[in-house]
Structure 1
Amino acid sequence: MTEPSGRDRLRELLDAVTDAGNGDVGSMARSSHASEFHFSREVRRLTGESPAALRRRVMLERAAWRLQRGEPVSSVAAAEGWSSAEVFSRAFRRTYGRPPSQAADVHFRLPAPNGLHFHPPQALWIDSQPSPVSQPDVTALMIEHDLGDTAGLLTCATRLSAQQWTAPIRPGQTVLAWDGPEPSVGAVLGAIVWSKQVWLATIAGDDFPARAATRSVDATALASFHADIGKRWRTTLSDYSAAGRLGDTVIDALCEPPESFPLYGIVAHVLTYSAHRRELARTMLAEHGVDAGLGDPLEWMRS
């Protein structure tokens, strides 16, 4: 659950539940800046467990893991907030069916209605819900992130003057020899868009495209052209993926010797060099005084 402000409210609630200093629901709620009633309702709504039950289970999972690493029962009991080693031992036996001395014989994870577990050494893990129909697609994520981050960089670049856009602040900078030098912000961002344009023509069997649309334009015009190319790139890859044809191969007989380009290899090529160029552009924009952010996919997903 990520709010429009970028706050991860679920993460905040879980931090409050698992904080070693929060021994009861009241202290959990206070650290989360919420009333006890609202806090309990939100935790149960988002996790399917009460704060007390969730905390107890996660603490027991962490305790079992610590015991498996050889820590003494008394130390683990104290660290996990139990009033005594005896009370902890009874709770452990009741939950795992074995005493703490046999912790090595159990898996520290306990059944959970929400798939939320302790994850060593000090994190939490939420299992995804198994679905034969829809699983997260890393390739689709990276394609969307590439397009979104490129659009963001082009938006940042519109703040440059015409002179800054073409200023050769990296003389001789070359990413791929056949693409030529990319010494300016405009050249680097233009090459990102140009690469997709070329490969779209290759896939479609079209003539090799002229480069003017990505070379002799300003940031605003390039952003508009990128929106069109990006839409075609997304649609083309989505169509081939849906048809199960990303394994198709283009053979360029004009090369000497002829070269084969499997579609999934083309995607990997484009994403690899686009990521490199995006970081170059981000650094070059910073030299012009423009902050373009980190470009982190996780940050992008939260936004």
Structure 2
Amino acid sequence: MTSPDGLTRILDSIQVALDDPAVGPGEVAARAHLSRFHFDRLVAAATGEPPGALRRRLLLERAAHRLTTSDRTVLDIAVEAGYGSHEAFTRAFQRAYGMAPTAVRRRPPVTFRELELSCPSGVHFQPPGGLRLPATRQETPMNVLQHLVDHHVDTLTAIIERAGTLDDEVLDRPITVSVETIDDRPTLRSLINAMVTQEEHWLSALRGGDWPDESDQSVRGLAARHAAAGRDWRGFVARTLAEGTLADTFVDTTCTPPTTHTLGGTIGHVITFAAVRRTLAVGALSSAGITDLGAGDPRPFLDAAAAG
């Protein structure tokens, strides 16, 4: 068996070689300080794929990502993936994905993970330029729910500890709602936009893309943006829960520098911050005389779902 450190060293050599498809297999092995025979045997044992097949698959996954997140020509992407012509790349891409590169560009998936090709190892291209190894364990939905409860209890403990450093005048002072850690001078429009952008942002990050366009903040525009982003976000969460991949990681390319997150952590982040904004938005509607949403409490919704 190959140790985790040994596998990481091997994959690091393959990752570096992705940026230079002209590098031969012997040189890739040498970069891992191994003979070509030993390198091939270790890669096949650790990943279930010969190194050449592993490298070609990773280059195709990277090409698929660049097709859906850039306006570069198919030929440029083909050459970068090590193919000598548009036609050779299209044939290889069609065999792997069952569709032409232009079809993927026209109809990009909800997240980049849907462009990962089946493999025995779980090693995939990770935007913007790395490799993703499979999680060492699986997180169940119940684990994530427990983690969220633990986070709440621990945070409340910390709040109480810090409150102990304040005098009674501060402790009993009436609170003007403070949202400095959430939004700056929120309005009903800005809260709605922030919640829609949050869906769009994390979907874009999962695709390896940039910050979304939030320029249309008309009610009609917000409704159209949410119709697409809400659908795709709901689908992403459902798929993640069904596949038990909450502990898997991805690189958030919208951050500078790019930051690694787990899928479960991202879902928990959205639930938490959206809950604050949603409560403020429901309150703003109530102040405007629209009270049919009540307090926006999820309990009746969850009770009905459990009964239904």
What is the TM-score with the length of structure 2 in the denominator? 0.41
* Larger of the two Rg values belongs to structure: 1
Higher relative contact order (CA 8 A, sep 6+): 2
